[in-house]
Amino acid sequence: MQKSQALRPLMKWAGGKKKLLKHYKNRLPDYQAIDSFVEPFFGGGALFCDIVASAPKNRRYVINDNNEELVSIYLAIRDDCEEFIAHLKPLEAGYLRCAKRERKKAFYYTIRTQYWGMQLGTVRTAATLYFLLLTSFNGIWQLCKESEGRFGTPAGRLIYRSVIDEARIRIWSTALQSATISATSFERVQVPAGSFVYCDPPYRGGHASYGKGFTDADQIRLIQWCDQLARKGCHVFLANRDLGDGFFDRYLPKYCLVSRVSVIYTAGRRKRTASGFEAKPATEILAEFPPRRRRRTSHYPSRSRSRECHRHGLRNSPR
């Protein structure tokens, strides 16, 4: 992929890894050596963008997110790109015609209400959601009482020029042609043998709401799933937020390679101070599960041990 056509995330996404990739690069596998890449919690797909740029032939991509609304955008762009763009154009035009701040916000909330009444699974519905994501608050996915489980984030910063980047959408459509896309739980994702798997689940202590809870019990199940994949030969990475309570020290396998990075969250975790809102420092954790194939074991003693048992008059039985 040419530098002028580098893949970039389609939208701002709270918890996205675009800024953290520079800290991760020396830990991640060589992109050129990856045959298949799997991301069970896709979100904005920042790492996918970085990996696609290496562009080796015949690579398999499996991208999944348990958020069906979000996944509908990627499916529409992959399968019906031009229709998707056509539905976006009148939304952009209507938004830009609103010159005043109050009118832009009113337009946003009108479209959001219309979206709640649309049938999921259509290209028009996916395009409407994408427009809302581009004009909503700070890339945070939230629900509200009126949304009945659908996207309900308030209006965000006001845009006075173009809203839609058609070229970026078309580049994404090309990149997604080689991707299997699903909307299910991480445990049901089909992972090819030997894959590079990157897990970026909803963070512990996070403020974004995706319509489905992700408890500490789910975090433990995810760790166990990562361990199972590593034992099947996959190279697995798990990102999260370290709350300083020893959770990951207790539940990560001993063989995991763990690194921590100090970050500043600018969305959803700011605290009020005398001078306004101040971004809150936090710690990101990246756990690596190197490939670990199971050793072959036997219920019977080795020949050398059998000879030792016979020599000492012991019963030739397993331990």
Average pLDDT of the residues in 37-56: 90
In a domain, 55, yes or no: yes
In a domain, 70, yes or no: yes
| 154 pLDDT above the threshold of 50 | yes
CATH of the domain at 56: 3.40.50.150
pLDDT at 5: 64
In a domain, 156, yes or no: no
Q: The tokens of 239 are what?
A: 């990102």
pTM (two decimals): 0.84
Average pLDDT of the residues in 63-92: 97
71 lies in which domain range? 3-89+166-289
Over residues 265-309, the pLDDT tens digits come to 655 445 555 555 456 688 899 999 999 875 444 333 343 334 433
In a domain, 131, yes or no: no
Q: How many CB atoms lie within 10 A of CB 177?
A: 9
CA 304 to chain centre: 51
In a domain, 10, yes or no: yes
**What is the DSSP code string of 110-121?**
HHHHHHHTSPTT
Tally of structural domains, the chain: 1
In a domain, 37, yes or no: yes
In a domain, 102, yes or no: no
Average pLDDT of the residues in 4-13: 81
Q: What angle do CA 167, 130, 207 make, to 5 degrees?
A: 125
